[in-house]
Every structure is written in structure tokens, then in C-alpha cells.
Amino acid sequence: MKKHVFLLIKRKKVIYVFIVVICTMVLGFIAFLSGGREAGKAQEGNQAAVKPAITGSKREPGHSIKNPGKASENMEKAYKPSTLKNNGALENKVRGSEEDFADRIMGSMSIEERVGQLFIIAFRQDIGGNPVTRVNDSITGIMNKYKPGGIILFNENIAGVDQTVRYIDDLQRISEIPLFIAVDEEGGRVSRITGENELNATKIPSMEKIGNTGDPELAYEVGKIIGRELYALGFNMNFAPVADIKTNPLNRVISDRAFGSDPKLVADMAVNLAEGLMEEGVFPVMKHFPGHGDTILDTHNGQVIVDHDMDRLMLVEFVPFISGIGNGIGGIMTAHIRMDKITQDSKPATLSRDVLTGILRDKLEFKGLIITDALEMGAISKYWSSEQASLLAINAGADILLMPLSFEEAYKGVIKAVEDGLISVEKINISVKRIIKSKYDLGLFDSQREIQDPVKILGKMEHKAIVDKIP
């Protein structure tokens, strides 16, 4: 009897152990399936978080830059890396840190150094008339004495990859505050890195051809190509995209530099190209406000008058700029055109407080850098001295003065105007703070910036494959 009871108990234990083993296996299998699904979700999430490559992958739906119609809802939204988008707390932290950083930098600067930051200048030829392709004693002296905020390069400054990289590096090395290294790289006929040099940069078709595709995503990809190749050489600012509306078929100044004649199309294309530039570390500057598309004469040669009222401008010329502002464009370049129907001073927009402060700052709520077109152009230099033009532009609302005919005269004139109370120290400080914050946002103060080999970037097959999509 005892033996039978023992066997029964033993059999029950075996059954119990068997049941436990089976349950454990089932639960483990369920956990495995659940873990696989969660891992799949995590992998999908990780893939979604990766920045799209320039190979043509689409950005996420609802991307701010793809919705220019939301401009009025995002007037203060700045370009930020994708990890900061829709993250208010982190963005406020970054914004707070940039304010503190700018204050610290400015606290160590004299008024002379602050005034220097207002200028972007060019070294095109030396005293012998030869193209400047390297830092020489004259350049070193000017940089040490006046401490300009930026340098713009032209075709004659760019001969080859190694030369361009070394020249830009040397310029940055002798400047205490990082420089804006600027260029006009629009694509089409306005290109500095695809001229008669040895760079092998990707040749970008005209903006008109890109506009004809009607594809803002293509404009974005083109912006990334331009930005990536410029950044590899050391450039960090591009005076592009052109945001003018081509409404006058006789306009030869803008012509195929514009995306087209439809304001919404131009807005979509310009904003997307600008984002492509910024994502590659190059500061985009929309031009030419308040709109250069309906002109026949050339402001390089003399004064140009556009006879439009505010209603027309808001419906046509201003549309791309409003869209850019709403999507956080960092810089806008002015045009030297007179707009007598909307101003009381009969001055070109670059020198008009009615235009730069009254309209661009106050009415359109632009918070970024206002940069003049080159002050050496005939529409300015034929009527005002470098000193006069600089004073008028600053008091009109400009933050950066591009290429006055005489940099030394302009610089000394601004210093004297501050001393005489004709330009307020507060105005200088506001502009310099915008400049320092913009440089900070670009990462120019970061010594650990990652630079790729330009030889491997310029003209790479992936870039040419995208350009080949353009008819």
C-alpha cells in the first residue's frame, strides 16, 4: 500500500514538473514574440529619427519647411538641427545659452571690435592687380587692425581645392572671432566654385530650370549639394537663394536666377533650398528684399525705381520672404532699389528705414540678420560716400555692411558716428549680438567641427545623379 501511495505521489510530482516546464516554455515563447515586435518598433523609430540622406529620401510629413503657409504661426522659429524640432524645453535651453555666450563675447570687445563685426569685405586683388589666393602681409594687417566680421570670396580667389581650404583656414586662424566666410553660390550663371578652377564642383543648373520642375523636394536636395560642397571647402555663408519673382520678361539682371513668376512656387522652392543649405552647415541668405524681379535697369550701374504699392508687394514680391521668415530664415539681403510708393525718404531700400525697419523688422517681424547688397554697387556708390552709405544703412536697420567701396573710410566713419552720437551704441550692440548668436548657432565657435575631405565631396556621383534629374 505504501509503495502504491509513493508511486502515486511521485507520478503527481512528475506531472507537476512537466506542467511547470510546459508553462515556462509557453511564457518564454510569448515573451520572445512580444520582444520581437517591440524591437521592430524601436528599429522603425530609430530609422525615422535618422536625418534623410541627400540621395532623395523624403522628409517626414508635416516638416515645417514644407508648409510655408504656416509662416505666421512660426515667425520666431529658427533653423535648428532635427533633434531640436518640437522640443520647446531643449530649444529654450539652447536659446538661453546662446544669449549668455553672446553677452560674454561682447563683454570682452571694444567698440572698435564691435564695429568691425558689422562688415563683410573682399580681398579680390593685391596692389599689383593680381588675384588674391592666400593670406599676405597686407591682409594680415587689415584683419588685425579692423577685425571684420566676415570675408566674401569670388572666382579669382578660388583656384583649387588645397589652395581654397588653406586660404580660408588661414583667414580664420588670424581672426580672434570666427569669420563668416561668404560666397555667391546660386547655381546657374552665378557660381564661384564651378568656374575656371580645379575644384571639380557639381555644376548646378539655373534656378529657373529647377523651378520649372515644380518640385520643392528637388530644390531641397540641390540646397544640400551646394551646402555640402561649400562646407567641405570651409564656407559657412551663402548669399542664396534668390527669392525674387520674375514678373518682368525684360529683366536681364535676375532672369533665370529666379525660380519663376509664381509667388507661391518661388516661396516653396526658395525655402526648401535654404533648408538644404542650413542642414549642411551653411547659413542661407535670401535675396533681394523687397524684390528685384520687376526691374529692367541694373543696380550695379545706377538707381532703379520699382513703382509698386504695399498691396501689390504683399501679394507678390513679399511672399517668398514672408515664407522664409515664417520658416526661420537666418539672413535676408537687401536690394538697392527705390520703392517710392511705400517710403517717405526716396532712398534705396538698403538705406531706407521705412523699408528695413518699418516693413522688414516691424511689419514682417523678421528677427534675423539684415545684410546689405554690396555697397560698392553704382546705385549706392554713385550717390553716397562709403561713410555716408554705411551710416544710413545702419540707421535704416542693416546689421551687416557688405563690401563698401572703401572699407577703411566706412569703418572710420561708423566709429566717428558712434562717438558723435549719430549712431547709437545700442544699435551697434543689437546688431553685433545678432551676429555673434548666428555664428554660435552655426557652430563656428566649436573647435571640434567635423570636416570631410573636399576631394571626396566635390562633384561626387550622388550629387551628379540628383542634378541629372533636372530637365
> What is the CATH classification number for the domain harbouring 225?
3.20.20.300
44 and 79 share a domain? no
Whether the CA torsion 438, 443, 447, 450 is positive or negative: it is negative
Asked if residue 108 and residue 24 are part of one domain, the reply reads no
The reply to whether 58 falls in a domain is no
pTM for the model stands at: 0.81
Better-scored residue on pLDDT, 79 or 337: 337
Same domain, 89 and 33: no
Are residues 85 and 205 both part of a single domain?
yes
Q: Is 300 a catalytic residue?
A: yes
Residue 60 has pLDDT above 80, yes or no: no
235 is a domain residue? yes
Q: What is d(CA 185, CA 237) in angstroms, rounded to the nearest whole number?
A: 10
- Judged against a pLDDT cut of 60, whether residue 339 lies above it is answered with yes
Residues 156 and 39 in one domain: no
Could you tell me if residue 64 is inside a domain?
no
Neighbour tally for 178: CB within 10 Å: 20
Find the catalytic residue in 126, 262, 298, 300. 300
Q: How many domains does the chain have?
A: 2
Range of the domain at 412: 71-467
- On whether both 145 and 178 belong to a single domain, the answer is yes
Say yes or no: 80 and 46 in one domain: no
- Looking at the domain assignment, is residue 59 inside a domain? no
Q: Do 227 and 353 belong together in one domain? A: yes
Nearest to 375 by CA among 363, 367, 383: 383
* Average pLDDT value for the chain: 84
Q: What is the mean pLDDT of the segment spanning 116-140?
A: 96
Pick the catalytic residue: 268, 294, 373, 399? Answer: 373
DSSP string, 17-77: HHHHHHHHHHHHHHHHHHHHHHHHHHHHHHHHHSPPPTTTPPPPTT-GGG-GGGGGGGTTP
Task: Let me know whether 20 and 107 are in one domain.
Answer: no
Residue 65 lies in a domain: no
Encoded amino acid at 33, one letter: L
Residue 141: the pLDDT is 97
Same domain, yes or no, for 32 and 94?
no
Q: Say whether pLDDT at 29 is over 50.
A: no
Residues 91 and 123 in one domain: yes
Whether 340 is in a domain gets the answer yes
Other CB atoms closer than 10 Å to residue 155's CB: what's the count? 17
What are the residues whose beta carbons fall under 8 Å from the beta carbon of 34, sequence distance 6 or more?
none
Residues 23, 160 within the same domain: no
What is the C-alpha R_g of the chain? 28
Residue 30 lies in a domain: yes
Query: What integer pLDDT is reported at residue 223 of this predicted model?
Result: 98
